[in-house]
Amino acid sequence: MQRRLIVLGLAGAALPAHAAKATAAKATATVVIDNFTFTPAMLQVSVGTTVTFVNHDYLPHSIVSAQSPPSFKSKALDTDDSFTHIFDSAGNYSYFCGLHPHMKGMVMVA
């Protein structure tokens, strides 16, 4: 009987730590596209952050990784459309607009 209480006690002690992991908020960030610019043009985030690109411009834009082959690429985003990408590895990720290549940005993941 005493042995069961010890096992149950240990299992109960592990629950709060597990519950904290399950309810921890995921990191998020937003890049706004407006007036043919990405804002912020350079974004620093932690590994695992979800970045949402939102087009507030009057023309379509797309987000294309500068890596070859691209590690992420959106469809053409109309006004108020968005594209989301999770940055799950550390590194610097340059990107550009596939429709207007002079538009450039970078996500720095640490």
| E runs forming strands in 1-110 | 28-34, 37-39, 42-45, 49-55, 64-65, 82-87, 91-96, 104-109
- The pLDDT of residue 60 is 98
Does the domain at 26-109 match CATH 3.40.50.880? Answer given as: no
- The pLDDT of residue 100 is 98
List, in order, residues 6 or more apart from 3 with CB less than 8 Å away. none
Q: What does pTM read for this prediction?
A: 0.77
Where do the domains of the chain lie?
Answer: 26-109
- The pLDDT of residue 12 is 45
- The pLDDT of residue 8 is 43
- The pLDDT of residue 26 is 87
- The pLDDT of residue 76 is 98
Low-confidence ranges of the chain (pLDDT < 50): 1, 3-20, 22-23
